[in-house]
Amino acid sequence: ALEQSAQAGRQAYVAAAAALSEARAAAAGKLEKAVAKELPPLRLDKARFFAQVSALPEDGWGASGVDSVRFAIATNPGQEPGPLARVASGGELSRLMLALKVVLAAGSVVPTLVFDEVDSGIGGATAAAVGERLVRVADGLQVLVVTHSPQVAARGAAHLRVAKSVAKGRTATNVEILTDADRREEIARMLAGETITP
């Protein structure tokens, strides 16, 4: 009786896992296409993103099914896709994560996202595109962005200036909420440097 019960349990698990694997494969294809649309404006037009679903050996099966799911990227033409952390640079990884968050924001259960220098190594129209995508993510979530880019800072609903100071040999970090007038001055300073002209 126990053997029959175990066999019935295995059959039910294998059937549920097969349905999950099929759903994962379909979702992976949709995710790849959606992320591919987000990459060109973020200056990752040559990059190819892959959501790879592969079968695990039986000793790897578990409550999450029988699949291994891995995100991979090839950042240059002719390059073999590899794990995100190994292939992408810091700036590329930040922008790729932004593309993923834009695509996945609607289904997110996380109430707040923090992006630390997602605009690293970019400027101009690309920085503006990053700012626009951050606004789209912020449509349904709270988004905090650490940035040195005026194009990104200008898109925020609020602006806080973070500055370090040293007094009596101790370093302090100060955070100041900027008024509209202060914000204009800060964005001008970010654009022009210390000397701000009319």
Arithmetic mean of pLDDT, 59-74: 93
CB-CB contact of 54 with 72 (8 Å): no
Residue predicted with more confidence, 112 or 8: 8
Residue predicted with more confidence, 120 or 25: 25
Residue predicted with more confidence, 84 or 71: 71
pTM of the shown model: 0.73
Two tokens, residue 4: 């029959």
Residue 139's pLDDT is 83
Asked if residue 136 has pLDDT above 90, the reply is: no
pLDDT, mean over the chain: 89
Asked if residue 130 has pLDDT above 80, the reply is: yes
**Which residue, chain included where needed, has tokens 């190819």?**
48
Residue 193's pLDDT is 72
pLDDT bin (cut points 50, 70, 90) of residue 83 is confident
Spatial distance between the Cα atoms of 7 and 164, rounded to a whole number of angstroms: 64
Residue 109's pLDDT is 80
Arithmetic mean of pLDDT, 52-58: 95
Arithmetic mean of pLDDT, 145-150: 90
Asked if residue 23 has pLDDT above 90, the reply is: yes
